[in-house]
Structure 1
Amino acid sequence: MSTANKSKYTAEDIVALEGLEPVRKRPGMYIGGVGSAGLHHLVWEILVNAVDEAMNGHATEIIVTLHKDSRTVSVSDNGRGIPVDKHPKTKTSALEMVLTLLHAGGKFEGKNYKTSGGLHGVGASAVNALSKQLIAVVRRDGEQYKMEFSQGKPITNLQKAKGTFRGSGTTITFTPDPTIFPKTEFNSDTIRQRLEVTSFLHRGVRVTYHDETTGNKVTYFHENGIVDYLGKVITERGASTIHDQAFTVFKEGDERIELALKWTESTDEHVRSYVNGIPTGSGGTHENGFRAGLGKAVRNFIETHNLTPRGVKFSPEDIREGLVAIVSVFVAEPQFQGQTKD
C-alpha cells in the first residue's frame, strides 16, 4: 500500500468537547438513548431533583404538568429554590452553574442533602443541553427569578421579577430538542405511573399531575407509603394472598430501610426495589441482601419451632415462591452503574 494514501493523524485531530457539547454529541451516555426511554428520562432527571428536596424535608408538594403541545413538561416543587447568588469561582449565578456545567450541584459533600437520587451534578444540565428551550423560575426570600436557555446555553440573563412573592421553590419547564430526539411527544400514562410510584416511595409528599392535553388532573398522597404500594401491586397482578397482614420493616438511622411483603398463591416471586427513590430494575446489593436475609429468617423460624417436615429441605426459591415485596432503601452514597442509574 502506498504511504501517500495514508491519512495523517496529528494533534490537530484530537477534539476536546467543552461545556455541554459532550451531552449533545453523545446523549446516550447521559440519558440512555434518544428513543422513548431516553426522552422520558429527561422528566425523571428534573423530577428527582424535586424529590430530593422532599426527601430531605425541604418540600411537601411536587407538581408535574404536561402542556397542551404534549412536548413540553414543567416540574415544580415548594422546596428551598435553587440558589441564585453568584458563585465565588465562576462569578455566575448558582442557577446558571447547575444548568450549564456538568458535575455542578449541591449533593457532593452531604451538607445540604442527607440522601438523594441526584448524585453526579449532571442531570439538570444534561436536560438543558438536550432541550430546544428550558425556562427556570426560582422563588426565594420573597423574590422570584427567571432565566431562559436553549440547547444548554443561556439566552437571557438572570431576571428578577418586580414585586414580592410568597413561598419558595423551583419550576423547570423544558421542551426537548427535535434535532436530538426523533420523536418529542411524551406519553402521559408513562409520566402518571412514575409519579404515582414516587408518591408511594415518599410517603407524606403530595404529588400532582396535570395533563393539559386531556384536562385531567390527579393528586397522589399516600401516608402508608409502600404498604399501599404493595397492595396496589398485588391487586394488579391478580394474585390471592395467603395472609391478611403485610410483613413490614421500617428502620430509621444513618440509612433508612423500608420493606413490605406478602406471600400469595402465585408460583413466582415479584420484587420491586428502589434506592433513594430510584427504581433498580437490575437489582443490586440491597435486593440480594433482602433475599438472603429473608431466607435466613424463615429457615430460623421453621427450625426454632420444629416445623420442618421429615425428609424435606427448603431451598431459597421454595421460601420465596409466591412472594410479592417492595424494597426501598435510602443511603448517603449509593453506587449506580451510570447516569441512568439502572
Structure 2
Amino acid sequence: MANPDYSAKNLTVLEGLEAVRKRPGMYIGSNDSRGLMHCLWEIIDNSVDEALGGYGDTIDITLNADGSVQVVDHGRGVPVDIEPKSGLSGVELVFTKLHAGGKFGGSSYGSSGGLHGVGASVVNALSARLDVEVDRAGATWGISFRRGVPGIFAGDGVDAPFTPTAPGEGLTKLKRVAKAKTGTRVRYWSDPQSFLPDAEFETAALLARARQTAFLVPGLALNIHDLRGAEPAVHSFKFEGGLSEFVDYLANDAPVTNTWRFQGSHDFTETVPVLDEQSGRLEQAEVQRTCEVDIALRWGTGYDTKVQSFVNIIATPKGGTHVAGFEAALLKVLRKQIEVNARKLKAGSDRPEKDDVLAGLTAVVTVRLPEPQFEGQTKEVLGTSAVRSIVSRTVTNALNAQLDSTAKIDKQQNTMLLEKVVGEMKSRIAARTQRDTQRRKNALENSSLPAKLVDCRSNDVANSELFIVEGDSALGTAKLARDSEYQALLPIRGKILNVQRASLADMLANAECANIIQVVGGGSGRSFDLEQVRYGKVVLMTDADVDGAHIRTLLLTLFFRYMRPMIEEGRVYAAVSPLHRVVVINNGAKKNETIYTYSEAELTALLKKLKRANKRYKEPIQRYKGLGEMDAKQLEETTMDRGARLLRRITVTDAEAAERVFSLLMGTDVAPRKEFIVAGSAAIDADSIDA
C-alpha cells in the first residue's frame, strides 16, 4: 500500500550517472543482450564518426575471453586538455558527464551518429571497469573508471583493487609517441549488476552491423576479433562501392532495373535552443542547416520490399521523415508516369497505391545532417520535419530524370518498371475482388469448400489436422488410415505452381494454390489472419523420393510466401514416411515383428543388429517409393497415428536466411542454383537419388 504521508522529503533526485544506473532502460532500451549490444554500438559509432570526418580508415573490435570488449580507432583522439568550465580533462568530461561531447555546436562534426552526448558516459556508468587510452599531442594518455567513477586499478582485470581519484586528477601521461600518431582505445567490462545474467555479445548481430557500416562508409575497414572460443575468429569488412554495393547485397531476386543512385543536397532553416555564452541561458535561434541525401535503389522480379534507412550511418529501423519523403515521392512520380502512359500500359482509370510501387523494391535511404531530431536515445525514428520535403524533392527530380531518359537501356528498364507496378495494381484489385466475393458468400452461408477436400468432423481447431497428400492413390489409402474425427485430407495433383516466380494474380488463378488457401481459411499475403485458420496443424504428406521432396518444397514456398504466420507459429509439418519395412521372423508361436526404417544408414544398422542377435528377416525387404504402396494399416501406424508417427516441424529461425534459401532454390536466377547443386553433388550417391 502506498505511503499516505507524501511530502517533499519523499522525493528523490538522481544526480549524474546515478540516473543511468538506476534506469538503464531509458538510455539503452533494455538490460538484456540487446542493451548490451547497444552499449557496444555507442562506442563503435564514436569511432565511425571520426572516420566520417575523414580521420582514420580502420576500426578494430575485439571480444576478449575475459568478457571485456575493446574498440580501437585511429581518429583524432578524445581531447585531453582541460575544459575550463568544469576543470576536467576532455576525456574525463566525455566519459563522466551526461550531454557532454563535441557534437552539439556543429564545429567539430558535420554529421555524426552520436548526438545526445550520453553514449560514452552511459557505457561508462554501466561498466564494472572501463579503460581509455588516447594517442594525442605526442603522448599516450590513460584513465580508468569503475561504474563511472575515475580511479586507479592495482592490476589487470575487472576484479583488481580500485582506488578512486579526485575529479580532474584521473588522466595520466603513460608514454611518449610520435606526434603524428593519434587515436582512441576503449576497453570495458559490462557491469553484471546492470545486465541480466544471460546477456551476451551476439556475434551475428555484431557482424551484420559491421558489414552494414562498411557499406555506408566506403573505404572504412572494420576488423572483428572474437577471442572467446577455442579457435580465435577474425572477420573483416571493407567495401568501396558504398550504397550501390549494399543494395546489390540485400537484393536476392532477379533485377527489373539496374541499381539507381539518387543524390542531392539542400539547405533548410531550423529553430533550435542555443546557449548564450554571456547570459548562460538557452535562447531560441534560427540556424542554417544542410541535409545531404544519398539513396540507392532497384526493383526486382520479387514481391517483397526491403527498405533500410539511416541517418548519419545510424540505422532507423522504424523509419521517420526521410522514409516518408522517399515513399511519397516514389508514389507521386510513378502515379504520374502511369497516368500519362495509361493507354500503352492498359492501366485503365485505376491508380497504384504505395504497396504496388514498393513491391520488389530494395533500397537504402541515407541522410546526413547536423543535430537531427530523434525519438529517444535509441534513435529508431527520425523526427526532423524539414528532411521529408528535402528527400521528396531529391527523389522526385532524380526519378523523373531517370524515367524521361532516352537511352535505350533506360527506356527498356523504365517500361519494365511501369509494367511491374501496373501488374501489382491489377493483382491487388483482383485479390480484393476475390476476397470481397468470398466474404459475400460467407455472409450468405453459401461458401463451398473444394469437392476434393475430405474434411474432419471436429470443429476444434487446436485438435484438428489437415493432411495435404500427393495424388488420388495416396488419398484413397489415407481415407482408410485416418481418424475422421480430427484428420482432414486434401489431395493435390502433381506439382503445384512455383509461387516464387509467379505473380499474385497467377497464384490466385492456379486451382491447386487457390484450393489450399481456401481450405486453410486464413487468406493470403498481408491480409492473412491466423485466427481464421481452420486447422491446428497442416501436414505435408508426400512420397519419399525426389519428386516428393520437390512437391514438398513447392508447398513450403507457397506457405512461406503467402501464409508465413503458419510457419512462424510452428503449425506446418512434414510427414516422415518410412523407406523400408523389415519383418523379423520370430520362432514358435510368437508373432513376427515389423520394424520400419527411415534411411539407408538406419536399415544397415538394423540388419547388423539382427545378424548379431541371430535373428532372421523376410526377404526381399520391402522398399517404399511412395505412400500409395502402403496399405491403410501401414500408413496409419507409420504416418498418421499420433502415438506412433514421426512429424518434422517446419520453423523459421531466421526469416532473412530462409528468404535467401527460397530464392536460391525456387527463384528465377539459374546460375547460383547450379553452383549450389554442383557444390552439393559430392554428398550424393547414385543409390540415394530416389530416397
- For Structure 1 versus Structure 2, the TM-score category normalised by the shorter chain is over 0.9
Paired residues for 1:147-226 under 5 Å: 147-156=143-152, 157-165=170-178, 167-182=181-196, 183-213=198-228, 214-226=231-243
Secondary structure at the aligned position of 1:273 is classed as strand
Paired residues for 1:1-342 under 5 Å: 7-69=4-66, 71-156=67-152, 157-165=170-178, 167-182=181-196, 183-213=198-228, 214-235=231-252, 239-243=253-257, 245-252=258-265, 254-304=290-340, 307-313=344-350, 314-342=352-380
What RMSD, in angstroms, separates the aligned Cα atoms of the two structures?
1.8
- Supply the distance in 1 between the matched residues of 2:88 and 2:297 (Cα, whole angstroms): 49
Instruction: Note if contact 1:209-1:218 (Cα within 8 Å) is conserved in structure 2.
Output: yes
Secondary structure at the aligned position of 1:23 is classed as helix
Instruction: Note if contact 2:28-2:39 (Cα within 8 Å) is conserved in structure 1.
Output: yes
Secondary structure at the aligned position of 1:255 is classed as strand
Cα distance change on mapping 1:310 and 1:202 into 2, 3 Å: closer
Give the structure-1-normalised TM-score.
0.92
Cα distance change on mapping 1:160 and 1:283 into 2, 3 Å: same
Give the structure-2-normalised TM-score.
0.47
| Cα shift at 1:271 | 0.7
- Supply the distance in 2 between the matched residues of 1:252 and 1:77 (Cα, whole angstroms): 29
- Supply the distance in 1 between the matched residues of 2:308 and 2:171 (Cα, whole angstroms): 42
Identity of aligned residues (%): 41
- Bigger drift between 313-322 and 144-153 goes to 313-322
Instruction: Note if contact 2:244-2:260 (Cα within 8 Å) is conserved in structure 1.
Output: no
Secondary structure at the aligned position of 2:30 is classed as coil
- Supply the distance in 1 between the matched residues of 2:215 and 2:107 (Cα, whole angstroms): 26
**Count of matched residue positions in the alignment of Structure 1 and Structure 2:** 333
Amino acid at match of 1:212: L
Extract unaligned runs of 5+ from structure 1.
none
| Cα shift at 1:295 | 1.8
| Cα shift at 1:304 | 4.9
| Cα shift at 1:302 | 3.6
Instruction: Note if contact 1:178-1:184 (Cα within 8 Å) is conserved in structure 2.
Output: no
Instruction: Note if contact 1:176-1:184 (Cα within 8 Å) is conserved in structure 2.
Output: no
- Bigger drift between 296-305 and 269-278 goes to 296-305
Instruction: Note if contact 2:63-2:70 (Cα within 8 Å) is conserved in structure 1.
Output: yes
Cα distance change on mapping 1:316 and 1:308 into 2, 3 Å: farther
| Cα shift at 1:175 | 0.9
Secondary structure at the aligned position of 1:155 is classed as strand
| Cα shift at 1:252 | 4.9
| Cα shift at 1:141 | 1.8
| Cα shift at 1:310 | 4.8
Secondary structure at the aligned position of 1:138 is classed as strand
Secondary structure at the aligned position of 1:118 is classed as coil
Amino acid at match of 1:320: L
| Cα shift at 1:297 | 2.4
Instruction: Note if contact 1:27-1:33 (Cα within 8 Å) is conserved in structure 2.
Output: yes
Cα distance change on mapping 1:208 and 1:252 into 2, 3 Å: farther
Secondary structure at the aligned position of 1:232 is classed as helix
Cα distance change on mapping 1:212 and 1:6 into 2, 3 Å: closer
- Supply the distance in 1 between the matched residues of 2:82 and 2:365 (Cα, whole angstroms): 41
Extract unaligned runs of 5+ from structure 2.
153-169, 267-289, 381-691
Secondary structure at the aligned position of 2:175 is classed as coil
Cα distance change on mapping 1:310 and 1:229 into 2, 3 Å: closer
Cα distance change on mapping 1:16 and 1:310 into 2, 3 Å: closer
The structure having more radius of gyration, on CA atoms, is: 2
Cα distance change on mapping 1:7 and 1:205 into 2, 3 Å: same
